[in-house]
Structure 1
Amino acid sequence: MWWYYIYVFSLNCTSHGWTDSFPPHDIACENAFDTFSFPGEPFSLFSFLFSFQTAETHLYFLYVKTMYTVGYAISLISLSIAISILCFFRKLHCTRNYIHIQLFLSFILRAAFIFIKDSVLFSTEDFYHCNSYPVSCKLVLLFSHYCIMANYSWLLVEGHYLHALIRVSFSKRLYFWCYMLLGWGAPSVVIVAWGLAKYLHEDEGCWETRKYDWIWWILRLPVLLFITINLLFFLSIIKILVGKLRKPDVHGNAFSQYKKLVKSTFLLVSLFGLHYILFAFLPDKVNDLTYKIWNFVELALSSTQGFVVAVLYCFLNGEVSYLLHFSSRWIMKHHSVCF
């Protein structure tokens, strides 16, 4: 098992001054509680690291931290490029792409808060003191959870928009503001409820502990609900498309403009949903090898989710490819005329 407690810490006086405390303050002060995190968050990785002060574990930690830092950086860059493309070309300005932009933003915020959380929580051991964790520590974790939940709420918006687009006629402008409310508002309600529950019933450490399962489920249940509803939307979408394409008065390409969108959204919901269900329920007590493998795969997949979203919704989009190709040809032609 990978949980145990150390009750003392020490510092060495060297010619360069005092060394960092060993073990960290949170371990020495008996704050090594069972921790939890959303799938893809590196928080529990540090609890594991501090539980095994060995050279091998530190090396593993450095590899994993480098891996997920590179993954989130790639996601951040690709998502920023994707948003720039969708905003730059006026022909791409439509409700569908506005929703894509909001989804991209949720992943950008997620990556940004992962970097902020790393710098705030783990930049120095002096940040922690026995039974004293700054409010900023809890706020960073709170916003990090919010960003991850926003990923799933905006995926739900993508699914509902596609379902409404195929099934009924509707006011896209009105729906977009409703979608904004769902995409950014629903996670806010859940996070506020979770924050109040943590503050009133489990205000320990940096809120990374998991002593009461019902508080843990405040975060988990809405995400599972989002995934389930999205899968129901896609079952309905498939049924509608098959039914309409069987009609003699409907051509085979009647819904061709939605074909790639359906495939992309369904792929994302399936992959992210499967990823969440698999990695959200890691047993509390596992041996160190199992945890290392599990955590490495989880962080590798999670850190690159933003990149996958950008590729499917922007870089592989036919309209985007055409406009980029047309623009590059225009630039080359204009450049050759000037010189």
Structure 2
Amino acid sequence: MSSAGHFCNRTWDGWLCWGDTAPGTVMQMCPEYFFDFDPAEKVTKVCNPGGQWFHHPESNRVWTNYTQCQAYTKDKLKFAISLYYLAMVGHVMSIVSLVICLIIFSYFKSLSCQRISLHKNMFLSFILNSIITIMWLSLTVANNQAINASNPVSCKVLAALTQYTATSNYFWMLCEGIYLHTLIIVAVFVGEQQLFWYYIVGWGFPIVPAITYAVARGLYFNDKCWISSDTHLLYIIHGPIQAALFVNFFFLLNIVRVLITKLKETHCAESTAYMKAVRATLILIPLLGIQFILFPWRPEGRISRAIYDFFINIFSHFQGLLVAIIFCFCNAEVHLNIIFECIADISNWQDCCCYDSR
């Protein structure tokens, strides 16, 4: 209330309800139930010093300013469509590249070992995440109006599966770090590692936050298709992911410390090989984790928010491609196996030609 005691009475303007208000400007978010309104923009209403709601000078009627709700709708729609196609391209490229990696690791028997088995499972988790994300985006973006009208359970199930597979991605990365830490730091105390426990961590544990999130979302923020990211319930997913990234980072730093010490003392080839394996995972952590570091810091400005959304989408939807490049396409062992295979094929072809010429 103002010092003079004047205030504007509560009112319903036909779209939004406004409570008793002291003189000044009050704001609310644009209503979501209009398709051409942007719910991220604000509605304003002015209470005059005398305790009367502002009247528009042309109509001389009480007026609420809804102009910002549609001010950038067309531009935002174009930008949203661009992000949609960017996401689709990123996930398709991720699927193709990761399938190629799985074929390479399965074809060359010399690459068969526990570490490569972990790679394969991590690749599979990224492939599943990309497939489910493509399905969810196709359902919620390409058929937005139909979905808003029907709000089927299927899109909520896909939303929960998307969160499960995303969590699984990061826990398989954690498995990579745990495996290397066990192999290098505590190898003296353990024999061959049991991959069963890695399957529990990579595939099993992410079920817990995914189910918890789905139940909480259904009870406390049950919007259509669970599209909105404007809820703290996402920390049910992001919390375990951030914890996995944090633990993995310190595991890998400890491994690097030990390997540097070993290299200074012995200069052995085995330590150098381990260092390359650790370096790949260490590079990947900030690349895949940056979105969860920046998530709470989404800017308010229209242009800065668009730039933020663009880069977050790059890091989110091209993750599988980054994993394929770092763990397979830039892997020296893979390069050597492909070179040896090519040399063997050329040699066989030459032998065949020489035999035919006889």
TM-score computed with the length of structure 2 as normaliser: 0.75
Query: Is 1:116–2:122 an aligned residue pair?
Result: no
- Quote how far apart the aligned CAs of 1:53 are: 6.8
| C-alpha contact 1:245 1:252 (8 A) present in aligned 2 | yes
State the SS of the aligned residue for 1:168.
coil
Query: 1:55–1:270: structure 2 CA closer, same or farther, 3 Å change rule?
Result: closer
Q: Supply the distance in 1 between the matched residues of 2:320 and 2:29 (Cα, whole angstroms).
A: 32
Q: How does 1:92-241 map to 2 (within 5 A)?
A: 92-129=111-148, 132-169=150-187, 170-174=190-194, 176-209=195-228, 213=232, 215-241=233-259
Query: 1:308–1:216: structure 2 CA closer, same or farther, 3 Å change rule?
Result: closer
Query: Is 1:267–2:283 an aligned residue pair?
Result: yes
The residue that corresponds to 2:296 in the other structure is: 281
The residue that corresponds to 1:41 in the other structure is: none
State the SS of the aligned residue for 1:281.
helix
The residue that corresponds to 1:302 in the other structure is: 316
The residue that corresponds to 1:38 in the other structure is: none
The residue that corresponds to 2:267 in the other structure is: 251
- Quote how far apart the aligned CAs of 1:212 are: 5.5
The residue that corresponds to 1:326 in the other structure is: 340
| Bigger Rg, structure 1 or 2 | 2
Q: Supply the distance in 1 between the matched residues of 2:305 and 2:177 (Cα, whole angstroms).
A: 33
Unmatched tracts of structure 2, length 5 or more: 1-26, 42-68, 354-358
AA aligned opposite 2:285 = V
State the SS of the aligned residue for 1:203.
coil
1:264-287 Cα distance to aligned partner (Å, 9 max, x none): 111111322234212x2144x723
| C-alpha contact 2:263 2:272 (8 A) present in aligned 1 | no
AA aligned opposite 1:5 = P
| C-alpha contact 1:138 1:207 (8 A) present in aligned 2 | yes
- Quote how far apart the aligned CAs of 1:184 are: 0.9
The alignment's C-alpha RMSD in Å is: 2.7
Query: 1:71–1:157: structure 2 CA closer, same or farther, 3 Å change rule?
Result: same
Query: 1:147–1:205: structure 2 CA closer, same or farther, 3 Å change rule?
Result: same
AA aligned opposite 1:112 = I
Aligned residues: 298
Q: Percent identity?
A: 29
Unmatched tracts of structure 1, length 5 or more: 9-21, 35-49
- Quote how far apart the aligned CAs of 1:163 are: 0.7
1:223-244 Cα distance to aligned partner (Å, 9 max, x none): 1111111122022212322333
| C-alpha contact 1:2 1:287 (8 A) present in aligned 2 | no
Structure scoring higher RCO (CA < 8 A, sep ≥ 6) equals 1
AA aligned opposite 1:224 = Q
| C-alpha contact 1:72 1:304 (8 A) present in aligned 2 | yes
